[in-house]
């Protein structure tokens, strides 16, 4: 009780002091404004209406009490706080001007003084608060000597890569933590015009390509950095690769600041510094998303995601959650994966309802029952079996999940009036040579045919999105390489020339959602949306980069072994069939592929036969039916174990 009384008295004293200071500032400001308006010899003459000074102080007191300006913390003043102060100052002078007119129409008072007083009072009040903050944060010397290339922090000397908001926030964080682990000795930027300028007292010493010369200059000054920290989420992979190579030659380690998409949840650490990830080396310049349209498309809607606990599905759920849907239905046959994504949503304090369904998309009755109850407006179908060699040994399972499961979701979407269903496909469906590609090709054909039928009657819009490998997804090559490196090698690669289209999970999902805008309310957009995957990545080069990221040398510390192509694999993938016409859409990262759509009735009967064979375990019949959609001229090194003709 005593402590509460003491705290209350402390707050009252603080309020009284701040109120008194602001009143003093106002009392100083008006004479200064008069002196600036009339000159030092004229402003003291009684003819200028000094009787109005008392009226001015009354106005200041009244507006000050009404505005509660004393509640703004001087210790943490921000730009938004200065705007509030500006509004207060304008209000004071407008009320004072109105009062002058009511008293004597301002006959004896220079009216332009009010304009000058607005500027002087605002300057005094803001300056006092900023000065107080600088003194409290021990940064006054930095500001007075900002042109002397101030070093921020007392820890390990580091060079920061970035000159935007993220770098500025990190420097501010270092300033507040005098015992922090880093001392920032300079900044590198991607913007040439910024070289030679300062960011919070730290010099921008060069561009990314100047790293070697910058380190030499800093070394001559006795401030050689021991590592680089990438503090910008928009640095493309090609620049990071360049930095990484040069840093290695200079014996510098390369780290990165947590990206904005990584600190979700209340306990996340915004300024955590960690090692580079493979995704950083492949990151492309992000194309701005039409967030207002995406938010409008998703906000308040009921949305279902199949495979919601998988790599793509989970990221879909998190990105959709950011746009505040009305309800989410999460479907997955893995109890553990559902538990994990449910846990993440709870950590986010998502602010909407969601429901986790443990269910198999191959169970038609269950899926129809779930859809009838949830009544989703949009469906993202990410559930699939996609491990190439495993499906070669289990073709029946591939058919039942990738073909029959997709048919069930598409049919349930149509039956329950879903506005938009999105099938997530793969580049393996292009000229397929394996079970995965064949099953996905059939799923694409069914969805395209059903979409054409729905288009005639204004029913459900069914869209197919196709892209290549997703970096670091479950079953991808990156986790395998990491495990092999941790175990001391060797790193196993199928073929020395093997390439793959690779994209980060976050970028892939962003573009999937962006692609939905092409079909949202536009039934003329028909075909398969193909994500721009950039240039294919050589798997051998990727292995080398991962080994170097681990602080080791390829072929010396970690051996590389070529094991030959596995069943169903090919050396190079492609994103389009030879018979597909493709064109750029209004979004430069999205292509539209159009091909001849098979008769929907024939496709449907074909799938019924395929399902019957798979359900009864007739593997030879399953393989015979699948062979009709596979290419015939399969290279010997890529022939599948299924002996596709």
Tokens coding 524: 């003329």
Query: Reduced to 3 states, what is the DSSP secondary structure of residue 617?
Result: coil
Q: Quick one: which H or E segment has residue 581?
A: strand 581-584
Rounded to an integer, what distance in angstroms lies between the CA atom of residue 630 and that of residue 644? 8
Distance CA 398, CA 469 (A): 18
pLDDT of residue 497: 84
Residue 444 and residue 427 in contact, taking contact as beta carbons nearer than 8 Å: no
149: left (phi over 0), alpha (psi -120 to 50) or beta: left
3-state secondary structure of 257: strand
Give the per-residue pLDDT at 5. Answer: 43
Cα–Cα distance between 323 and 296 in angstroms, integer? 8
Are 184 and 160 a contacting pair, CB within 8 Å?
yes
**Using an 8 Å Cβ cutoff, are 472 and 479 in contact?**
yes
Q: Is the omega angle on the peptide bond into residue 490 within 30 degrees of 0, that is, cis?
A: yes
CA atoms within 13 A on the CB side of 80: 3
Q: Quickly list H helices, 323-374.
A: 335-348, 364-374
296-482+507-533+567-638 and 144-276 share a CATH fold: yes
Rounded-to-integer distance, Cα 128 and Cα 327, Å? 49
CA distance 184 to 225: 8
Q: What are the extents of the domains in the chain?
A: 2-136, 144-276, 296-482+507-533+567-638
What is the Cα–Cα distance from 576 to 582, expressed in whole angstroms? Answer: 8
Q: Tell me, what's the pLDDT at 45?
A: 61
**Quick one: pLDDT at residue 526?**
66
Sign of the dihedral defined by the CA atoms of residues 77, 270, 198, 224, in that order: positive
* First-to-last C-alpha distance (Å) of the chain: 87
Round to whole Å and give the CA distance between 312 and 269.
24
Contact 586, 519 (CB under 8 A): no
Residue 550, exposed/middle/buried by CB under 10 A (0-12, 13-18, 19+)?
middle
Separation CA 157–CA 224 (nearest Å)? 7
The total number of residues written for the chain in this structure: 645
- Superfamily, domain 144-276: NAD(P)-binding Rossmann-like Domain (3.40.50.720)
Say what the alpha-carbon torsion angle 645, 593, 470, 390 is, to the nearest 10 degrees: -20
**pLDDT confidence of residue 308:** 93
The CA distance from 313 to 357, in Å, is 14
Q: What is the DSSP letter of 152?
A: B
Assign a CATH topology to domain 296-482+507-533+567-638: Rossmann fold (3.40.50)
Which residues partner with 492 through β-bridges? Answer: 561
Q: Is the dihedral of CA 198, 201, 205, 207 positive or negative?
A: negative
pLDDT along the chain (645 residues), means of 10: 45 73 81 75 59 76 76 68 81 81 70 81 82 64 49 73 80 71 84 78 82 87 85 78 84 77 48 74 67 86 94 92 92 94 87 91 95 95 90 93 95 93 89 90 90 83 85 73 84 84 82 80 65 79 82 83 77 72 70 74 89 93 89 44 32
- 579-600 burial by CB neighbour count: b if 16+ within 10 A, else e? ebebeebebebbbbbebebeeb
Query: What's the pLDDT score for residue 81?
Result: 74
Q: What is the pLDDT of residues 20-65, one digit of tens each?
A: 887 888 888 877 877 777 776 665 665 555 667 777 788 888 887 7
Residue 620, Cβ density class (10 Å: 0-12 exposed, 13-18 middle, ≥19 buried): exposed
Q: Tell me the per-residue pLDDT of 245-256, one tens digit each, with 9 for 90 and over.
A: 888 888 888 888
């Amino acid at each position: 009780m005593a402590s509460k009384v003491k705290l209350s008295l402390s707050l009252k004293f603080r309020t009284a002091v701040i109120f008194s200071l602001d009143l003093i500032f106002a009392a100083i400001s008006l004479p200064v404004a008069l002196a600036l308006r009339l000159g030092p010899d004229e402003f003291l003459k009684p003819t200028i209406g000094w009787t109005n000074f008392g009226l001015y102080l009354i106005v200041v007191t009244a507006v000050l009490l009404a505005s509660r300006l004393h509640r703004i913390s001087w210790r943490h003043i921000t730009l938004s706080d200065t705007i509030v102060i500006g509004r207060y100052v304008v209000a004071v002078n407008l009320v004072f001007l109105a009062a002058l007119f009511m008293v004597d129409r301002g006959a004896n008072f220079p009216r332009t003084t009010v304009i000058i007083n607005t500027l002087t009072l605002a300057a005094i009040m803001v300056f006092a608060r900023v000065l107080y903050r600088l003194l409290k944060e021990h940064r006054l010397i930095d500001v007075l000597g900002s042109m002397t290339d101030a070093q921020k922090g007392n820890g390990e000397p580091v060079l920061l890569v970035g000159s935007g908001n993220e770098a500025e926030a990190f420097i501010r964080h270092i300033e507040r933590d005098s015992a922090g682990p880093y001392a920032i000795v300079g900044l590198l930027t991607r913007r040439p015009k910024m070289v030679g300028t300062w960011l919070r007292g730290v010099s921008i010493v060069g561009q990314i390509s100047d790293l070697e010369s910058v380190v030499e200059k800093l070394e001559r000054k006795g401030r050689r950095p021991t590592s680089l920290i990438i503090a910008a989420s928009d640095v493309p992979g090609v620049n990071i690769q360049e930095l990484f190579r040069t840093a290695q030659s200079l014996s510098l380690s390369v780290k990165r600041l947590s990206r904005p998409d990584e600190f979700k949840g209340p306990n996340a650490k915004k300024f955590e510094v960690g090692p580079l990830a493979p995704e950083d080396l492949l990151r492309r310049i992000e194309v701005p998303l039409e967030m207002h349209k995406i938010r409008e498309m998703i906000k308040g809607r009921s949305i279902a995601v199949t495979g919601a606990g998988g790599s793509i599905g989970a990221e879909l759920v998190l990105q959709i959650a950011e746009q505040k849907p009305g309800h989410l239905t999460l479907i997955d046959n893995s109890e553990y994966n559902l538990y994990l994504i449910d846990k993440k949503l709870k950590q986010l304090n998502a602010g909407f309802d969601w429901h986790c369904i443990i269910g198999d998309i191959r169970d038609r009755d269950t899926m129809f029952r779930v859809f009838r109850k949830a009544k989703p407006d949009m469906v993202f179908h990410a559930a699939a079996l996609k491990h190439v060699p495993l499906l070669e040994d289990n073709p029946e399972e591939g058919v039942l999940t990738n073909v029959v499961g997709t048919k069930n979701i598409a049919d349930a979407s149509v039956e329950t009036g879903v506005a938009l269903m999105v099938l997530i496909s793969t580049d393996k469906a292009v000229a397929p040579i394996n079970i995965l590609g064949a099953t996905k090709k059939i799923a694409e054909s069914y969805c395209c045919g059903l979409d054409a039928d729905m288009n005639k009657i204004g029913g459900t819009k069914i869209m197919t999105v196709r892209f290549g490998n997703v970096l670091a997804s479950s079953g991808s090559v990156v986790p395998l390489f990491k495990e092999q490196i941790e175990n001391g090698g060797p790193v196993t690669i199928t073929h020395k020339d093997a390439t793959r289209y690779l994209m980060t999970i976050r970028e892939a999902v962003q573009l999937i959602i962006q692609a939905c805008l092409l079909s949202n309310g536009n039934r003329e957009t028909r075909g398969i949306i193909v994500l721009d995957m950039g240039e294919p990545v050589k798997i051998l080069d990727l292995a080398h980069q991962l080994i170097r990221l681990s602080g080791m040398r390829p072929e010396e510390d970690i051996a590389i072994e070529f094991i030959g192509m596995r069943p169903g694999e090919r050396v190079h993938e492609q994103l389009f069939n030879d018979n597909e016409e493709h064109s750029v859409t209004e979004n430069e990262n999205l292509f539209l592929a159009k091909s001849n759509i098979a008769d929907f009735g024939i496709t449907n009967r074909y799938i019924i036969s395929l399902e019957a064979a798979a359900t009864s375990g007739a593997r030879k019949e399953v393989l015979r039916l699948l062979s009709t959609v596979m290419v015939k001229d399969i290279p010997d090194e890529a022939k599948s174990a299924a002996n596709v003709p």
